[in-house]
Each structure stands twice: as C-alpha cells, then as structure tokens.
Amino acid sequence: MPSLGSIRRSFAPWDDPAAKPYISFKNVTKRFGDFVAVDNLSLDVYEREFFSLLGPSGCGKTTLLRMLAGFEEPTEGEIFLDGQSLKGVPPHKRPVNMMFQSYALFPHMSVADNIAFGLKQDGMEKGARDERVAQMLKLVKLEEFAKRKPDQLSGGQRQRVALARAVAKRPKLLLLDEPLGALDKKLREETQFELMDLQQQLGLTFMIVTHDQEEAMTMSDRIAVMDKGIIAQIGTPAEIYEAPNSRYVADFIGSGNILEGNVASSDDAHVTIKGGDGEIVGALRGSKAPANGEAAWFAIRPEKMQVSRSKPENVDNALEGEVWDIAYLGDMTIINLKLDSGNVVQASMINRSRLVEDPIGYDERIWLSFSADSGLVLER
Amino acid sequence: MMRAITNRLVIIIPYLWLLFFFLLPFMIVLRIALSDLEYGAPPYTPQFSLADGWNVMWEKLGQLDFENFGFLASDSLYINSYLSSLQIAFFSTILTLLLGFPLAYGMARAPSGIRPTLLMLVILPFWTSFLIRVYAWIGILKQEGLLNQLLLWLGLIDTPLEILSTNKAVYIGIVYSYLPFMVLPIYSTLEKMDESLVEAARDLGCTRIGAFWKVTARLAVPGILAGCLLVFIPAVGEFVIPDLLGGSGTLMIGKTLWTEFFNNSDWTVASAIAIVLLVVLVVPIVLFQNAQARAAEAGR
C-alpha cells in the first residue's frame, strides 16, 4: 500500500503515542474585543520539529506565535512548554526566542552588540559572551560585519543578524515570524535551505509563521494550515498536498482544480460524483463514503492529468475542452482548458524535450485524462 | 547647467536669510555695545563707522576699550541675573521633560486614529496669543485666584498659597508655555519607532522597565535633546513670564536687559548684555550640533 511519509523518514514523533509533546496548546482561545483571533485551538508540537503555521493574513497564526513568546496571553485555555504551563510567565522568563518579521534590530547597536544583547541580559561574562558572539557571526557568515550598524547592511544580512541574535541564547524553541518575507525570491530559496541546516545543526525546535505555502512545504516536518482561528488541517507536506481534507486546504496549498457534483455511487475506495462535467470517479478520503446524492467536490492537481489530442482509451476519467490559456514557464507548460460546462481546469506538462514537433495551440479542442486515484472526493 | 544654478540659489537662500536677519542685526547690536553712552537720541556715540573708510576704521577698532562689557563684570547684578536665568531655565527644562516625555509617550502609543487629534490638542494653545495666556495665569495663581479657591474649597489648604510674584509662578509659566516644544520632538521620535524593538528586547531577557530604558528611552535621545534645547534656549532669555508672573526677587537676564534699555535708556549696556547672552547660548547649541553630527556619522 503506497503511503505519504515524512521527509526525514525516521523522524515522526507525532505518530508515536508515547512521545511527549514539547509545545501543547490546550483549547486556546484568544479574543481581541469581539474579534476571535484563535478559536478553541489545540495543537501539539514535538521536540526538534520544524513546524509551520500556514494561512492567509488574519487567520490567527501570528497570534499563536505571540502567545508562545509571551506578548499575548490566551483569553481561555492554556499553553504548555515542556510540560510547564506558560500562564503568567513574562516574555523574558521564557526559554523561547523570536525572530521578528521586521527583524527588530536595535538601530543604535552594532551587529555584535545586537547579538550580544540577550547574553548581556543573562549576565554572561564578557569572555564567554565574546566567544559566543564570534561563534554566531561565523554561523551566519557575517564575521566581517561585526562592527557595522544594522542600516549599513543589506536585507539578507539583516535577516541573518536577526537569526543570529535569536539563536545566540541557545533557546530550546525558536519562533520565526515570516522570516523570509522581506527577501527577494532567489535569496529566499537559498535561505530556506540555510534555515533547515541551522535547525538540524543546533537541534532546536522551530516554529515558523508564513503565508507562503512553498516555503512551508520546503522546510517543514509538519504544517498546520489555519483558517479563521482554527486549524483546517495538520500534517506532513505530502499529506497536506496529496490528501487535503477540505476544499479550503486543497485550494490554499498549491494549485488545484475543484469540480462540483453530487455523489452518484461509491465503494470502499472510490466515489463517483455527477455534476456539470459528467461523471468523475475519485479516491475516497477517509474510511466512510458519503451517502448517495450528497454534495461533494472532486479535487485534482494540474500535474496529475495527461493531455492528449485524441480521446484517450481505457482511462477512469476524461474531460474534453477548448484551450483557453497557455503559459510557458520553461520547465513546464500550464494549460487552462475551458470545459463545455464553462468550468476552467488547469493542467501542467513537464517539458522533457527541448523541441516539440507540433505544440498544442490556442483554441484547440483537447482531452485531459486521469486515473481514479489521482484525485480526491471531498465532502467539504 | 540650469539645474546647477537653481541648486545654488536654493542653497543661497538660507544664507541670505541668516545674513539679513541674524548677522546684520547682530553687527548693529555689537556696534552699539562697543559705543559710549551719551544723553541724546540715539543715546550713544559710535566709536567707529564705515564712513571713516577702512583704514581709519581698523585703527579705531584697535583702540576699543570694551568698557560696557567690563561694566557687566563689575556689577554682581548682571552676573547674578545670568546665573539665575540659567538656573531657572535649567530646572524648568527638567520639569518640562518630566512632564513632556510621558505625554509624548502616551500620544505615540495611542491608537493611530486619535493621534492627529491629540497632536492638535498640543498645538491648540498656540492659537491664543502667548501674552494673553501668560496673563491668564495671573488670574489662576493670584492670592484669591482660581487655584487657591479650588484648594481652599477642597479643604487641602487653610490659607491661600503665595505663588504669584515668586519664582514658583515663573517655573509654572515657563513649563506651561514651552511644554509643546518638548512634546513635539519627542513625540516624533517615539512615533516612528518600531514597537517590535521593545518586544525584541523583552524577548531577549529585559523586563518591561529594562526594555524601556535600553530601547525606548535610548532611541528617543535625539528628540529629548532637541526638546530640551527648544525649551532651554528661549527660557534663558525669557522676559514676559518673569515680568508678569515673577516678583521683585525674580532675577532674569531678559528682565534686566529690558530695564537697562527702557528704564535706564542705557542702550550700550543693554546691547552688551544681549551679546553676552548670545555667547552663553551658543555654547549649548554648538555642543548639540556636534552631538547630532556625531550621531549622524555613527548611523551611517
């Protein structure tokens, strides 16, 4: 039976019932006046995990992070860190450090002084402090910039100073609020891998807030997809991508096609729905099939469909339509197909060969085919 | 080409301004300060004049006796006036800072929607004449004034406080009048400060109070310095407030200068007082400029 595993195969404490969670949100609610930022949320994160909170702005992900750091107190519920309740513990007494979205570097201090700030607060003596600062500067490759002020650095360098300052005190848990948000695309991709290396190297637990699903997918052991103060789904990147539990998650993660219909028939592995685009058979998510006649949605990723000019034979599903848009991205080509129902479906093709004899063009009528296991039938 | 000329013109304008409205009047006052007193109109004899021609003027400049400045040193009234002015200005500046900083801090941390209103309220007193506002304080501070009536009615005091015509009234007047000059520069530095800096400090191990001193107060220093100078400098030379609110015992150099000029008609000594006052004030200004230049240098 094929499965969706974690990237670090041996690392999956969330599947181990005996594993003790490192961070535990227990029925946490946070209200700001009438606005409910976090709604009765429970969540366990394990030691050494790289955990992402992913969602659109206003979904409550930053509030969760700020409650861990101690800048906000839950209205209801409790948060535990390593078994200890964090209730009433002020930020400076928590073994947690945060890297701020704005980096929040002290403008009146040099890079070295910024990194040393937290160590000085702890009363670390000068010799040990200087050594630790040098170590941190080396870690983020900024040795030559120790004496510079933050405004004499580039955005990428500032980001690394913020990171060095946040890990200088060797916190058990590092919170990162949109750590790569201010970097340009290329630098962001490089930094993603640097962050992963750093997390492995230091053996820390990372909790990161991001609205960039690609970033979350690349770095995380697990992702919590959030929506309006609740967790819509929690799982490994592959689980979230390949087995979304709702239309919201399917739509938020990656690009997806969602076709609407009503359940026509089902067995223990597949469900057939019937809608404006005819009958479509997809994999059943979960163990219990929905009753016939109920509304359901079929979700499929663009890369899971085959494109052909002639009607494909011996396939579970086939859709015919007119080419509406073609986007050539170099590594792949994306085709938007307008079905006869008016729905637009996206398919992508990897460009394996440099030269194509007769590429598909605008306004052609083509077919998309896919097996029953390529897509999922969702109930909500 | 055209651009270069325009640029130069733009730079020249402030210098022309300084020349006509500061340097020329200063030279005129200096010339009077170097003259001899005489009974007449004007009540002084110039010791030199451009009309003599350059050579004669240089020669005469070499023979100046600076007797008016010598006179200032000979009479303790003047030295005491300067010292008392500096003292009153210094303590008023500190009081204004103690009052102005929390005000500015509260404004900068208020919801952004009401900040323009708060700012407006700070500026609002400027809509009434300064003189009238100081006069109004007489009505508040005098023996049977509003303040005493209120305190008596509340039962906090049995006999009216004697505030008007003392240095206390001068302090109140200066703090009241110059408070906006303290609040505004501090507000503007606090307002543009990133709130997450304080959170970062707390996250790294500072208590609330520690973070306030190490980050908020430290980053507000340029605003605090600017506010202190804006209060201190005009307060030293203040004339209206000590004259209206102070008593006969209130010594301030602005008042002494006024007396010399109008009551004694001694333009030459009055001018000498003004010149010395300027020199006294230039020192803190230069120090401030240096501090700012160094801060700008360090920030680059």
* pLDDT per residue as tens digits for the range B71-112: 888 889 999 999 999 999 999 999 999 999 999 999 999 999
Q: Which of A70, A102, A122 sits opposite B194 (nearest CB)?
A: A102
CB atoms B204 and A107 under 8 Å: no
**Percent of chain A scoring above 70 in pLDDT:** 97
**Strand-by-strand arrangement of the A344-350 sheet:** A306-308, A365-370, A317-328, A332-339, A344-350
CB atoms A92 and B204 under 8 Å: yes
Q: What CATH code is carried by the domain that includes residue A359?
A: 2.40.50.100
User: Which residue is listed with tokens 């052909």?
Assistant: A308
Give the number of other Cβ atoms within 10 Å of residue A284's Cβ.
Answer: 18
- Phi, psi dihedral angles at B130 (to 5 degrees): -55, -45
Mutate to test the interface with A, among B190, B197, B204, B212 (most CBs of A within 10 A): B204
* pLDDT per residue as tens digits for the range A234-265: 989 888 888 888 888 888 887 888 888 888 78
Say if B202 is an interface residue toward chain A (CB within 8 Å): yes
Residue A7: inside a domain: no
For residues A282 and A346, state if they share a domain. yes
For residues A242 and A264, state if they share a domain. no
For residues A34 and A134, state if they share a domain. yes
List all residues 6 or more positions away from B157 whose beta carbon is below 8 Å from its beta carbon: B148, B151
Q: Which of A92, A151, A152 sits opposite B205 (nearest CB)?
A: A92
Residues of A in contact with B208 (CB under 8 A): 90
Residues of B in contact with A108 (CB under 8 A): 218-219
What's the domain range around A350?
Answer: 255-378
Residue A188: inside a domain: yes
Residue A1: inside a domain: no
Residue A3: inside a domain: no
pLDDT for the residue A1: 41
For residues A30 and A112, state if they share a domain. yes
Longest Cα separation, chain B: 77
Say if A92 is an interface residue toward chain B (CB within 8 Å): yes
Residue among B246, B232, B271, B220 nearest B35 (CA): B271
Residues of A in contact with B194 (CB under 8 A): 102, 104
CB atoms A118 and B204 under 8 Å: yes
pLDDT for the residue A190: 83
Q: How far is it, in rounded angstroms, from Cα A218 to Cα B42? A: 87
Residue A4: inside a domain: no
Q: Which residues of A32-51 are buried (b: 16+ CB within 10 A; e: fewer)?
A: eeeebbbbebebbbbbbbbb
* pLDDT per residue as tens digits for the range B125-148: 989 999 999 999 999 999 888 999
Mean pLDDT, rounded, of chain B: 89
pLDDT for the residue B88: 95
For residues A234 and A371, state if they share a domain. no
For residues A169 and A43, state if they share a domain. yes
Residues of B in contact with A91 (CB under 8 A): 199, 202-203
For residues A95 and A182, state if they share a domain. yes
pLDDT for the residue B300: 46
Q: Which of A96, A98, A151 sits opposite B299 (nearest CB)?
A: A151
Ranges in chain A, pLDDT < 70: 1-10
Q: What CATH code is carried by the domain that includes residue A144?
A: 3.40.50.300
Say if A342 is an interface residue toward chain B (CB within 8 Å): no
For residues A335 and A230, state if they share a domain. no
Q: Which two tokens stand for residue A87?
A: 């209730």
List all residues 6 or more positions away from A64 whose beta carbon is below 8 Å from its beta carbon: A25, A28, A38, A41, A43, A53, A209
Residue A169: inside a domain: yes
Q: Does domain B77-299 have CATH number 3.40.50.10490?
A: no
More confidently predicted of A268 and B272 = B272
Sort residue A342 into left (φ over 0), alpha (ψ -120 to 50) or beta: left
What is the pLDDT averaged over residues B32-50? Answer: 82
pLDDT above 90 for B65 = no
Domain count for chain A: 2
* pLDDT per residue as tens digits for the range A275-313: 777 777 788 787 777 778 788 888 888 888 888 888 888
Domain locations in chain B? 77-299
For residues A196 and A319, state if they share a domain. no
CA of A119, closest CA in chain B: separation in Å? Answer: 8
Q: How many CB pairs under 8 A join A and B?
A: 65
pLDDT above 50 for B258 = yes
* pLDDT per residue as tens digits for the range A80-117: 998 888 898 999 989 899 999 999 999 989 999 999 99
Residue A8: inside a domain: no
The residue out of A219, A247, A275 marking a domain boundary is A247
For residues A282 and A223, state if they share a domain. no
pLDDT above 70 for B269 = yes
Say if B203 is an interface residue toward chain A (CB within 8 Å): yes
The residue out of A247, A278, A309 marking a domain boundary is A247
Say if A118 is an interface residue toward chain B (CB within 8 Å): yes
For residues A179 and A267, state if they share a domain. no
For residues A94 and A172, state if they share a domain. yes
List all residues 6 or more positions away from B16 whose beta carbon is below 8 Å from its beta carbon: none
Q: Which two tokens stand for residue A280?
A: 């479509």
Burial of A130 (0-12, 13-18, 19+ CB in 10 A): middle
